[in-house]
Structure 1
Amino acid sequence: MIVVTAAGGRTGAAVVRALWSRGERVRAVVGSGRPRPELTALGADVVPADLTDVAAVESLLAGADALYLIWPNFDPGEATGAGALLAAAGRAGVGRVVYHSVLRPQARAMPHHAAKDRVEEVLDGSGLRWRVLQPCAYADNFDGQLTEVAATGLLRSPWGLERAQSLVDLRDVADAAAVLLTDEGLDGGTFEAAGPQPLTAPQIAEHLGARLGREVRAVDAVPDGPVPPPEDYAGRCRRLMFDHYRAHGFIGSPRVLEALLGRPARTFADHLDALELPSGARELR
């Protein structure tokens, strides 16, 4: 049995789906007791638990073959909370832990990256059998903008127009996670998951235009005002992240991901081809 935390989020749900496709039995730990039909349809044992309640989570880990540890995004308690769950995993006798980190966790200009770097350090000294997955920004991050982009022909880019991102399809991230959770010979490894094309906002807009059947132009959406204060942790993280992307981009190599998958990584165009078009849009071919 494999435990996946934060399984109610899009990353956790994708990992559950990838494991289901391999015939694995999954316990999906979610943050609330509301129905999760998307997970129960995959045969998952869906259990609500507060990840900061270490005793409750530890009881869910007993006898687990593996744990995929995702901490909710932009949460100021990640370094402490994830560290406590790693200790719980050790006490529960979990066979293997895979931690969902981020590409470039050592980039301490972004607090949520630095938190994951600290968790990786704890993991290294935990005595557990571990692997780490470090995904780049998701191609899926643009899915929610399709309707607006189709209507306006504008793609707003808070990271500017010049720097690129190596967008990775979440399905590839989930498939890589499934490999790390189930395959032998990978313990102690840190694995980057970056897409195959470094794309600037104008290049992303071009792909969106081809998919939507209209011209799309990228516009520089420069953030307003100062960086939010530390007490607004999520807002501060988002702003510093986009400021970092504006200055440096966020790119990586797909070679490690493709080695894990045993196939080419999906391109951004591949990702868009799988999406349902907004009403009124037409695909150019």
Structure 2
Amino acid sequence: MIVVTAAGGATGGAVVRALWGRGLRVRALVGSGRPRPELTALSADVVAVDLTDPAAVEPLLTGADALYLIWPNFDPGETAGATALLAAARRAGVGRVVYHSVLRPQARSMPHHAAKDRVEEALDAGGLRWRVLQPCAYADNLDGQLAEAADTGVLRSPWGLEQAQSLVDLRDVADAAATLLTEDGLDGGTFEAVGPEPLTAPRIAELAGARLGREVRAVDVVPDGPVPPPQEYAAHCARLMFDHYRAHGFTGSPRVLEALLGRPPRTFAQHLSALDVSGELR
């Protein structure tokens, strides 16, 4: 059995689907008791639990072959919470832990990256067999803009028009996660999951236009006002993240992901080809 935390989110759901595709039994931990038909349709054992309560999570880890540890995005409690779950996994005898981190967690200009860096540091002292996956920004993050671009011919970019991102398809991230959860010989490894091409916002708009059959132009959405205070953690982190992207971009090499997948990662054009014009997978 493999346990996936934060399975109600996009990343967790994609990982559950990738594991289901390999015929593996999955326990999907979610944050509330509402129905999760998208997970039960994948034969997942769906359990509602508070990840900040390691005593409640620990019994759900007992007997697990592996744990895919995702912490909810932009949560100020990630370092302490994820570290506590690593200790719970060790006590429960989990055979293998894969931590869902981020590309360049050492970038201290982005606090939510730094939080993941500290969790990675805790892995060394955690007494577990571990691997780390470090994804770039998802191509899927722009799916919601496809319908708007079809209507208005505009793609909004909060990271400006000059710097690039190596956007990665979430399905590729999930397939890489499944490899790390199931294959031997990868312990102690840190693996980047990066898309195959650096893309500026104008290039993304060009590709979206080709998919939609109309001209699409990228528009720079310049931040309005000062950076939100740290007490508004999610807004604070999101603003600093886009400020970092605006100044430096967010790119990397696809070679590690290609090795994990055994094939080239999907291009952004291939990602778009799988969507309808509303941004949903066909």
What TM-score results when the alignment is normalised by the length of structure 1? 0.97
Structure 1 unmatched runs, 5+: 280-285
Distance 1:91 1:244 in 2: 38
In structure 1, the partner of 2:40 is 40
Question: 8 Å contact 2:105–2:113 — kept in the other structure?
Answer: yes
Distance 1:34 1:140 in 2: 24
Residue aligned with 2:146, SS: helix
Residue aligned with 2:39, SS: helix
Distance 1:152 1:144 in 2: 13
In structure 2, the partner of 1:64 is 64
Cα deviation 1:12-31 (Å, max 9, x = unaligned): 00000000000110000000
Output the aligned Cα RMSD: 0.8
Q: Confirm whether residue 138 of structure 1 aligns to residue 138 of structure 2.
A: yes
In structure 1, the partner of 2:263 is 263
Residue aligned with 1:24, SS: coil
1:236-247 → structure 2 map (5 Å cutoff): 236-247=236-247
In structure 2, the partner of 1:282 is none
Cα deviation 1:152-188 (Å, max 9, x = unaligned): 1111111000000000000000000000000000000
Distance 1:266 1:45 in 2: 30
Structure 2 unmatched runs, 5+: none
Distance 1:105 1:215 in 2: 36
Residue aligned with 2:16, SS: helix
Q: Confirm whether residue 122 of structure 1 aligns to residue 122 of structure 2.
A: yes
Distance 1:191 1:239 in 2: 26
1:277 Cα deviation from its structure 2 partner: 1.7
1:151-162 → structure 2 map (5 Å cutoff): 151-162=151-162
1:228-243 → structure 2 map (5 Å cutoff): 228-243=228-243
Question: 8 Å contact 2:144–2:278 — kept in the other structure?
Answer: no
1:276 Cα deviation from its structure 2 partner: 1.1
- Amino acid aligned to 2:132: V
Corresponding pairs, count: 279
1:266 Cα deviation from its structure 2 partner: 0.2
Distance 1:260 1:157 in 2: 30
In structure 2, the partner of 1:28 is 28
Distance 2:126 2:278 in 1: 47
Among the aligned pairs, what percent are the same residue? Answer: 83
Distance 1:174 1:230 in 2: 31
1:146 Cα deviation from its structure 2 partner: 1.0
